[in-house]
Amino acid sequence: MSTKINSMRGGFIGRAIAVFGAAAAASAAVEGGRKPQSRDLVTLGIDPKAFDNM
């Protein structure tokens, strides 16, 4: 049981770090006048094609 709890915590923490990293990369790109990478947008739950329309 403790292995399952540890894997859930590790998954949550890893996902949280990925989301914060993608948000930082996307905001830096927008501030620099560039389009964020598709990978970062997908991580944040944003459709890269929809971002082009903005």
CA separation, residue 24 to residues 8, 27, 44 (Å): 24, 5, 11
- DSSP code per residue over the chain: -HHHHHHHHHHHHHHHHHHHHHHHHHHHHHHTT-PPPHHHHHHTT--HHHHHT-
Contact 38, 26 (CB under 8 A): no
Question: For residue 43, what pLDDT is reported?
Answer: 94
Q: Domain ranges for the chain, please list them.
A: 2-52
pLDDT in tens, 1-35: 455 555 555 688 888 999 999 999 999 999 999 99
| Spatial CB neighbours of 22, under 8 Å, sequence gap ≥ 6 | 39, 40, 41, 43, 44
Question: For residue 50, what pLDDT is reported?
Answer: 84
